[in-house]
Structures are given as structure tokens and as C-alpha cells.
Amino acid sequence: MNTRDHAARMLGWRLKQAGLPTPELDARLLMRGVTGASEIEMIREPGAFITAAEEAVLASFEARRLAGEPVARILGRREFWGLEFAVTPAVLDPRPDSETLVAAALDLLRGIEAPRILDLGTGSGCLLLAVLHERADARGLGVDISADALAVAQRNAVDLGLVPRAEFLQADWTAGVAGLFDLVISNPPYIASADIAALDRDVRDHDPRRALDGGADGLDAYRALALALPPVLKPGGHAVIELGIGQAAAVAALFEAAGFATTRTVADLAGVPRVLVAGLAPAKRRKG
Ligand SMILES: C[S@@+](CC[C@H](N)C(=O)[O-])C[C@H]1O[C@@H](n2cnc3c(N)ncnc32)[C@H](O)[C@@H]1O
């Protein structure tokens, strides 16, 4: 019989030989997925054995990883903002960079009681559900054009115990969205169509095309959102929008042209401007 620790190390070594970028991390995550062990259990109990059945599952996971399937796709789940999200082929695999958007959204919500949040292109629901998890007084609506993606978001809302405060709607951006929101968040598709073929195969072959393709220059969704957002935001409300690398100036210009009074960017941990924060002017006070 093999120990968990030894099997994980050997798997990490084989993934490294195959040239995968994060072999040790992948190996530990796959081992945890097979055995159900937490990271703490993996550290505390290095001598724990794995069964023959677990070894067989691990071997099948290894073959899939070597064939280019991302770990989150193999396990069917991904950690984001410290929470577990189910992922299926219908949704984008949530990216750590998008946690910058969650942090920016939470900053803006400080001081707003019982805020209403709209998440456009919700996918797995990771952005909206992370915000609702942090703000127990908030409610939100997640919109996606894909019914299959919405089924995943709904399941994640159930698993995280956020159902009463999270609702979902199948729509083309804001079409059919009723009411006004304090904050709109969105991570739209922003890859230029011609660049998709050159993406890493983890992304190109496994994330849904609709989650990636931003049209000829990558800006189609931003154009639509800039025009669609002012009518669904309260006066003084904000939009918090994820940006692709190098898109900040062009997207800020689109939002300013659509009537947003202020724009600024927030950088991710690598220093890349990753999020645009665009604010509507507050309501004018009536004189007298
Ligand atoms: C980049 S993914 C973001 C998913 C998730 N919010 C995240 O950050 O991981 C973009 C999402 O927008 C959705 N989408 C694309 N076009 C849309 C449209 N016209 N209306 C609504 N959703 C759309 C896609 O189905 C996809 O789920």
C-alpha cells in the first residue's frame, strides 16, 4: 500500500516531468479530491494510506491532467474567495484575479445598508455569491445568457446557504432586469476573437467560448454594458467591471461616454489594472 504523501509526491514529480506549470499543487489538489482529505489533514497525517480504489481514481485523474484538462475541471470544483464552487463545462473556471473585483465591490458597499447587487454574466455565480457571503444584509441578482451556467450558479447558491438572498435570471445582459441596484458587478467575455486560438489549452479547450469571446477587438461586451448600466443603477451607484490586460483606457472611455461621472482602476496582485470602477453622479438636491 502507498501513503497519501508519497503518492502525491510521485504524482507531482511525473506532472513536472511532463512540463505542467504547477505540478506539486496540482498533485496535492488531485490527491485531496480523491481522498477527501483537507490540506491540514494532508500535512498532519503524511503516513495515511490510500486504498487501491483511490489509487485507481488518482491514475485516471493523472491521465486527464496529462491530457491538458485543468484540475478544477477534473474535480468539478474550485476554491474562490475561500469558498468552494461547483464548476461544469458550462461555466468559466473562476480565476484568482477576479478576487480583485470582489474586494473592490466590498469596499464600495461599505456604508450602504441592505445593498442590492446585480451580477451580469454570473457564470458559476462566484462573484455575486462571494459578495453575499461577506455581506449578510445584501441581496443580489445573477444574470447569464446560458441556462446551463445559471443551473451551476443556483446549485452553488444552495450549497453556500445563500438561496434566499441570491436570485438568478436568464437574459441578454440587462434585458428584462427590473428595479434599481446600488452596485453592478461583471466579468464579461473580453478576449479578441482572433486571439482565442492562441490561448493556453487549459483555457481554450475547457472554458466556454461564450465566456471568452469579446468580439473583433475584445470590447463588444463592454460597449453593451456601458450603455445598459446607467438605467439599472441608483443615482450615485457604481459599476465594478473586470478588465483584460491593456483594456483599461478603452473601457474607461466607453463608460465615460455613456454618462458615468467618475472612473478609476484597481490593480490585481500582479499590479495589472484588473478592475474598472465607474460611478454615476449622485442625485441632484432640489433647491429651496
Ligand atoms: C468571463 S465569464 C464570467 C463568469 C463569472 N462571473 C466569473 O467571473 O467566473 C462571462 C459570462 O458572461 C456570460 N455572457 C456572455 N454573453 C452574455 C450576454 N449577452 N448576456 C448575459 N450573459 C452573457 C457567459 O455565459 C459567461 O458565463
Provide residues with CB under 6 Å of ligand 1: 91-92, 94, 98, 121-124, 126-127, 143-146, 149, 172-173, 187-189, 210-211
Res 184 pLDDT > 90: yes
Q: What's the distance, CA 46 to chain centroid?
A: 32
Largest pairwise CA distance in the chain:
84
Q: Which three cell numbers stand for residue 181?
A: 441596484
Report pTM.
Answer: 0.94
Ligand 1 atom closest to the Cα of residue 189 is 1
222 alpha carbon – ligand 1 mean position (Å): 12
Contact between 260 and 280 (Cβ < 8 Å): yes
3-class state of residue 12 by DSSP: helix
Q: Which amino acid is at 78?
A: R
Residue minimizing CA distance to atom 17 of ligand 1: 145
Ligand 1 atom closest to Cα of 173? Answer: 20
Task: Specify the pLDDT at position 64.
Answer: 96
The pLDDT value recorded for residue 286 is: 67
Query: Three cell numbers at 276?
Result: 474598472
* Residue 189 pLDDT > 60: yes
Closest to 149 (Cα-Cα) out of 211, 205, 202, 101: 211
Pair 33, 52: CB distance under 8 Å: no
Ligand 1 centroid–CA 135 distance in Å is 23
| Ligand 1 center to 65 CA (angstroms) | 26
Distance 90 CA to ligand 1 centre (A): 10
Q: Which residues contact 282 (CB under 8 A, 6 or more apart)?
A: 235, 236
- The DSSP bridge pattern shows strands 49-50 and 2-3 to be antiparallel
Question: Angle at CA 117, nearest 5°, toward 147 and 125?
Answer: 35
Given a cut of 80, whether residue 287 has pLDDT beyond it is no
Q: What is the pLDDT of residues 126-164, one digit of tens each?
A: 999 999 999 999 999 999 999 999 999 999 999 999 999
For residues 176-194, give the mean pLDDT.
97
Alpha carbon of 223 to those of 117, 182, 251: distances in Å? 21, 21, 8
Mean pLDDT confidence for 55-77? 96
Phi, psi values for residue 41, rounded to 5°: -65, -35
* pLDDT tens per residue, range 9-26: 999 999 999 999 999 999
Q: What is the pLDDT of residues 270-284, one digit of tens each?
A: 999 999 999 999 987
Q: Mention the CATH class of domain 89-279.
A: alpha beta
Cα-to-centroid distance, 8 and ligand 1 (Å): 35
For residue 288, pLDDT over 70 is answered with no
- What is the structure's pLDDT at 85? 98
Q: What are phi and psi of 181, to 5 degrees?
A: -120, 150
The number of the ligand 1 atom at minimal distance from the alpha carbon of 242 is 8
pLDDT at 283: 86
Q: Are 234 and 179 in contact (CB under 8 A)?
A: no
